[in-house]
């Protein structure tokens, strides 16, 4: 056995307060626990072959992404798992590679489906939360989701190329931050290395530009 590739993923929930606890559990179960389970099952074989583990994380596991909190939290956990495992397996000659793509157009980012799921979730929120946020905020939030469909890149082959490199190169990188082009790659590098307060300001600016709704009681 030369390589184990973990690519299962699920996206659920919205902001921390508006997401159900089950959204967090589902994201962690699929995105992290499933990865850990598969990896542990194959490590004995990889120790013999001195092969490699290739795990798909996300740029959302490096930059905290508001309003997709359960998903982002699970991907931060995946990045942490990759970092720990890489340092632990080095003594065995096993390489652990983390693939961390930006937003690409895959079945997981079906914004119409996500919007419908949020409508169903918001309908079951506590009355006090609905009162504070307002029904208009909740409607506008879920209706704004399909507008994000302009952001994902269709260049999914970029992810395939990095996967290929991770599996076949004699000395692959420890981390591949997969981006659609060099402009996005440079931007991602800069964003990841900015102070947290500057990242916060940039995210606020993006939310303002896309006219993210504000809760009723603000």
Active site residues: 71
* Biggest CA pair distance of the chain: 60
Which residue is associated with the tokens 């939290």? 73
Which residue is associated with the tokens 């809760």? 215
Angstrom distance (rounded) from CA 205 to CA 92: 46
Angle between helices 34-49 and 69-89 (to 10 degrees): 20
Please name the residues in contact with 112: beta carbons below 8 A apart, sequence gap of 6 or more. 146
Per the structure block, which two tokens stand in for 121? 């979730």
């Amino acid at each position: 056995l030369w390589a184990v590739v973990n690519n299962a993923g699920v996206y659920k929930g919205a902001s921390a307060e508006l997401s159900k606890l089950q959204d967090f559990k589902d994201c962690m179960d699929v995105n992290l626990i499933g990865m850990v389970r598969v990896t542990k099952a194959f490590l004995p074989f990889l120790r013999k072959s001195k092969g490699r583990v290739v795990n798909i994380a996300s740029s959302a596991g490096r930059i905290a992404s508001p309003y997709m909190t359960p998903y982002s939290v699970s991907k931060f956990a995946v990045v942490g798992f990759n970092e720990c495992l890489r340092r632990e397996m080095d003594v065995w000659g096993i390489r652990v590679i983390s693939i961390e793509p930006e937003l690409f157009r895959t079945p997981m980012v079906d914004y119409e489906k996500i919007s419908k799921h949020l409508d169903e979730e918001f309908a079951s929120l506590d009355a006090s939360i609905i009162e504070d946020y307002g029904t208009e905020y909740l409607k506008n939030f879920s209706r704004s989701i399909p507008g994000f469909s302009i952001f994902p890149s269709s260049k999914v082959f970029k992810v395939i190329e990095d996967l290929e490199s991770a599996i076949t190169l004699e000395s692959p990188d420890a981390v591949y931050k997969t981006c659609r082009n060099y402009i996005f790659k440079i931007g991602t590098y800069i964003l990841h290395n900015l102070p947290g307060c500057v990242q916060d300001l940039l995210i606020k600016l993006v939310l303002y530009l896309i006219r993210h709704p504000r809760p009723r009681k603000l």
